[in-house]
Every structure is written in C-alpha cells, then in structure tokens.
A and B are shown apart, each in its own frame.
Chain A
Amino acid sequence: MTIKEISDTIDGKVICCEENLSARVEYAFASDLMSDVLTVEKENIVLITGLANLQTIRTSEMSEIGCIIIARGKKTGEEMISLAKENSMTLIECPHSMFYISGKLYKAGIKPIY
C-alpha cells in the first residue's frame, strides 16, 4: 500500500513529508516501547505507536523507519515535526486506537515483520 492509502484507511492526517505519500510500504510494527522498535531490522515499514514524543522520532531515525502513525488522537509537537522533516519521515496523526489501526492495516494486507 502507499502511505497515502494507509493514511486514508485509518482516517489519518498527514502532518509532514507529504512528498513520500506515493511511497509503498509493505510491513508494519506496533509498539510503545522504543527498545522494541530498535530490534526491527526490516526497512520499508510503518511504525504504529501511541508514544507521541521526541524519542519516537529519534528511535525511528536510528532504525530508519520512514513512516510513523501516532495513534490514540495524540498530537505531534513542533520538535517532533522538525526532526521528522530533517530525516524525511512521514508523520500521520490518527484518532483511533492502536488496536483498531493494527486490525485495519492487517486486514488491508500490510504484513507483520516476522
């Protein structure tokens, strides 16, 4: 699916790096724990998380994750957006729960990492 399709499927709002909207993503990983995210070796994944803070962006930068969905209606802050832009990472805000987002994307064919 493209990042745009992913965003539309979950009623997401793209916050930055719209230039990546047509990029395709195959896999997803859901977690609030950054050390867990750091174990991800695949590229081309979307991270689904409810942790809306700078460390989410830092961790995604280290793991080279290109797209992050911030769940639970949490808002992204200026620092987060600025760091995401620096690394060309698309941020999507979504009002739904991680349970719902994971369920919908799994059903839509996005694959788990392992």
Chain B
Amino acid sequence: MKITDIISALDLKVISGKSGLSNEATGGYVSDLLSDVIGNSKEGQIWITLQTHQNIIAVASLKDISAIIIVKGFIPEADTIEKSNTENIPVLGTDLDTFNITGRLFELLKKE
C-alpha cells in the first residue's frame, strides 16, 4: 500500500523525508530497540516507534524501511530530520500511542 494512502487513511503528519513518499509499504514493524529492528525487520515495512534520535534513520536506511511513524506526538531531533531528507525516508507523526496506531495500520494493511 502506498505511503501516501496510509498517511491519509491514518491522518498522519508528514514531518520530513518527503522525497520518499512514493514508497510502498509491505507491512509493519513495531519496536523501540534498534538492534531488534536491525535483526528482524523486513524491507518495505513501516516502522512504528517512540525513538526520535538520528540513529533511527541509519537503521531505517540499512533495512530499507518504507517510512517511520513516530508516536505520541514526539518530535524527532533536528539531526534526524536532516538525515531523513538525505536518505529519503519519510518520517511521519501521530498523536496516538503505539498500540492504537498499530491496531489501525494492521487493519488497513490486512484489507490489501
């Protein structure tokens, strides 16, 4: 499913990485532990996390994550935003918590 469609369906805010908005999401991954994302995430997944530091971009890039959703209205650091633009990784935001946004994304992707 297109990231842009997911953004409208879930009312997500586009924080940065706009050049990556044409990515396709193949599924979702929920984790706040970077080593876990590195070890277990799959290419194309949307990553849902509370982490805001710049390392999330390095990890997302490494694993070909289609987009990152930062929850609870948290705002990524300036470094993170800058890197996401360079790496073309959309950083999206929601005020909802992880369980809530994941539940909705799960439903959305299941319909595909």
Chain A residues within 8 Å of chain B by Cβ, number: 25
Residue among A32, A51, A100, A106 making CB contact with B99, cutoff 8 Å: A106
Residues A65-114 near B (CB distance < 8 A): 72, 97-100, 102-107, 110, 112-114
Residue among B28, B50, B105, B110 making CB contact with A31, cutoff 8 Å: B50
The smallest C-beta distance from A39 to any residue of chain B, in angstroms, reads 9
A33 at interface (Cβ–Cβ under 8 A)?
yes
Q: Is the CB of A113 within 8 A of B33?
A: no
B8 at interface (Cβ–Cβ under 8 A)?
no
One digit per residue, 1 when the CB lies within 8 angstroms of any chain A CB and 0 when it does not, for chain B 86-99 equals 00000000001111
Q: Is the CB of B30 within 8 A of A97?
A: yes
> Which bucket holds chain B's interface residue count?
20 to 34
Residues of A within 8 A of B72 (CB): 36
The smallest C-beta distance from B21 to any residue of chain A, in angstroms, reads 21
Chain B residues in the interface with A (C-beta under 8 A): 27-33, 36, 40, 48, 50-51, 72, 96-100, 102-107, 110
Could you give 26 example pairs across A and B, Cβ below 8 Å? A29-B97, A29-B98, A30-B99, A31-B98, A32-B33, A33-B50, A36-B32, A36-B50, A48-B99, A50-B36, A51-B33, A72-B40, A98-B31, A98-B98, A98-B102, A99-B106, A102-B103, A102-B106, A103-B28, A103-B105, A103-B110, A106-B100, A106-B102, A106-B103, A112-B100, A114-B97
